[in-house]
Amino acid sequence: MEDKYRKALADWLATTEARPVPLPTPRDERLRALSGKVDAVIGMRRVGKSWLLLSHLRELLDAGVPRSRILHVDFEDERLAGMRVEHLQLIEEAFFQRHPDSHGAECWYYFDEIQNVPGWEKYVRRLLAEPGRHIAITGSSAKLLSTEIATAMRGRSLTTQLWPFSFREVLRHRTIEVPSTWPVSAAVGARLRHEFDRYLETGGFPEVLDAPADLRRSILQNYTDVAILRDVVERHSVRNAPLLRGLVRRLVLSVGCLASVNALTKDLKSQGFAFGKDLLYELLAHVEDAFLVCLLPVDARSERRRQVHARKVYVVDHALARAAVPGPGEDLGHVLENIVYLELRRRGEVHGYHVTPTGYEVDFVVSDLAGERSFVQVCATLDVAETRERELRALAEAMDETNVERAVLVTMATDGVEQVGGRTVRVVPAWRWLLET
Which residues, other chains included, contact 299 with Cβ-Cβ below 8 Å and sequence gap of 6+?
Answer: 306, 351, 352, 353, 354, 365
Query: What's the CA gap between 397 and 196, in Å, rounded?
Result: 31
Q: What is the pLDDT along the chain (437 residues), one digit of tens a residue?
A: 899 999 999 999 999 999 999 889 999 999 998 888 999 999 999 999 999 999 999 999 999 999 999 999 999 999 999 999 999 999 999 999 999 999 999 999 999 999 889 888 889 999 999 999 999 999 887 766 566 666 667 778 888 999 999 999 999 999 999 999 999 999 999 999 999 999 999 999 999 999 999 999 999 999 999 999 989 999 899 999 999 999 999 999 999 999 999 999 999 999 999 999 999 999 999 999 999 999 999 998 888 888 888 999 999 999 998 888 765 556 899 999 999 999 999 998 899 999 999 999 999 999 988 889 999 999 999 999 999 999 999 999 999 999 999 999 999 999 999 998 889 999 999 999 999 97
Q: 319: number of CA atoms within 13 Å, CB side? A: 30
Contact between residue 394 and residue 400 where contact means Cβ atoms under 8 Å apart: no
| Cα 375 from Cα 397, distance rounded (Å) | 11
Measured CA to CA, the distance from residue 228 to residue 293 in angstroms comes to 11
Please state, in angstroms and rounded to a whole number, the distance separating the CA atoms of residues 223 and 215. Answer: 13
Cα(295)–Cα(311) distance, integer angstroms: 6
DSSP string, 5-43: HHHHHHHHHHHHHHSPPP-PPPPS------TT-EEEEE-
Q: In what order do the strands lie in the sheet with 258-259?
A: 258-259, 311-315, 293-296
**Helix H or strand E encompassing 386:** helix 385-402
Angle at 71 between CA 69 and CA 76, to 5 degrees: 170
For residue 168, the SS3 value is: helix
For residue 147, the model assigns a pLDDT of 63
Domains delineated in the chain: 2-162 (3.40.50.300)
Question: How confident is the model at residue 145, as a pLDDT?
Answer: 59
- pTM of the predicted protein model: 0.93
Secondary structure percentages of the chain, helix, strand, coil, to 5 = 50, 20, 30
What does the pLDDT read at residue 78?
A: 93
Residue 368's pLDDT is 86
- E strands, 43-132, are 70-74, 107-112
